[in-house]
Amino acid sequence: MKHWKLTIGNQDSKPFINLYYKTKRFRYWNGKAINLNLSSKSNPELLKSAFELKLLEGWRPKDKNVKVNEKNLTVVEALNKGFEIKVAQGCSKRYLKDLARLIQLWEKFERKKQFKNLLLKNLNTDHIKSFIIRRKWSPKTQRNIKSSLAPLLTDFKPKLVSQVKLQKPISKLHKPIIEIANLLNEIRQNSKNLYSCCILTYGCLLRPHREIRELSWGDFTSDLSYIKLSGEINKSGRNRIVPVPSYIKEKLERGESNHNIFTDSIKAPNPDYFKTLWSRFKRVSRLIQQDQTLYSFRHSGAIDIFKRTGSITKLQKAMGHSSINVSLTYLRGLEIPELTEEDMPVIKD
């Protein structure tokens, strides 16, 4: 046991297994590497014990086989090698999908900057800055890109990405929508798919840019009364069941089970699809106000639930938040009073 150590780590409120073997560190979010169908989210202690048992039986993590000193290794080749390592570690499909998209973005970046076949040995912080810091990307997006790029290069140039300092994102309040029905009617006349996205964002409190965009008819129950989100789509990483209000259900026409609800094919719209539709709609809308976004529909739905039920627990379940603390923070951000005068301390005569 002197050559290895197991701990439970945590990233963005998601547990994972840390394995320190000799001089290397391995991270596992599930038991695929040891042929075990168990997620660290469901039972991290059990998964840690399973890894410990396997290690005692003689199992060892696969060597990363990284040729750091290979002189002619290109950045793209290094990124793909880093991706292979993450696959071997049993990372989630959602995480791997994000990494694959990042590699595509880097390849596009190299073509645009005419850095074709940029060698790893020539990669510097200026390249990283130019890739990450873009006007069209918000500070939050830039930080997400940086956090995805770092693990892919950690076995080649571990400190390079961390040397790039980014602006801290400023929390932006998505202004709630008062006249929901009027705005939805205006959207329906402009774009059928954007209307479906907005009404699902409001009525089911789903996140538009991933949870809704990637919805297939197979995610709905046979009577269209519920949506079953897998942990791979849901931001919290946990399975989630969402009721479908009747005013949404009556507008749905079920298609093939494996077809996306917007494209009528197995392929989902591109990641910027609804962002583009919303931008186009904003230019012609008479009703949209300053700071109202697609997420304003989700926030407005949250306000409606809290005002009618007064229950933070119900709000947490409806929003799919990982904890009540997240919901409390959310309510403070929306400036909803959590206490009334009757809740405050009194002085008895």
Tokens of 207: 């996140």
Same domain (yes/no): 56, 97: no
338 domain-assigned: no
Count CB-CB contacts under 10 A for residue 57. Answer: 8
In a domain, 345, yes or no: no
Residues 202 and 321 occupy one common structural domain: yes
CA gap 251, 200 in Å, rounded: 11
Q: Do 38 and 98 belong together in one domain?
A: no
Is residue 192 domain-shared with residue 268, that is, in the same domain?
Answer: yes
What domain count does the chain have?
3
The answer on 193 and 77 residing in a single domain is no
CATH of the domain at 80: 1.10.150
Query: Of 108, 143, 170, which one is at a domain's C-terminal end?
Result: 170
Same domain? For 192 and 142 the reply is no
**Range 235-244 contact pairs with CB under 8 angstroms and sequence separation of 24 or more:** 235/207, 235/210, 235/211, 235/320, 236/320, 236/321, 236/322, 237/14, 237/41, 237/92, 237/94, 238/41, 238/320, 238/322, 240/320, 242/204, 242/205, 242/206, 242/318, 242/320, 243/204, 244/203, 244/204, 244/220
Judge whether 339 lies within some domain: no
Report how far residue 222's alpha carbon sits from residue 238's, in angstroms, rounded to the nearest whole number.
22
Q: What is the CATH number of the domain that holds 199?
A: 1.10.443.10
In this structure, is residue 218 part of a structural domain? yes
What residue numbers bound the domain in which 186 lies?
A: 180-333
**Spatial contact of 90 and 29, defined as CB atoms under 8 Å apart:** yes
Q: Which residue, of 135, 170, 205, is where some domain finishes? A: 170
Are residues 262 and 277 part of one domain? yes
Residues 310 and 189 in one domain: yes
Is 346 a member of any domain? no
Tell whether 239 and 287 lie within a shared domain: yes
Per-residue pLDDT of the chain (349 residues; tens, 9 = 90+): 457 888 888 766 678 888 888 777 788 888 888 888 888 888 888 888 888 888 888 888 876 554 445 568 899 999 999 998 888 777 777 788 889 999 999 999 999 998 878 999 899 999 999 999 998 888 888 888 998 899 899 888 888 898 888 877 665 667 888 889 999 999 999 999 999 999 999 998 898 988 899 999 999 999 999 998 875 555 555 677 888 999 999 999 999 999 999 999 999 999 889 999 999 999 999 999 888 889 889 888 888 888 888 777 777 777 777 677 767 666 655 555 554 545 545 455 4
Q: What are phi and psi of 203, to 5 degrees?
A: -75, -30
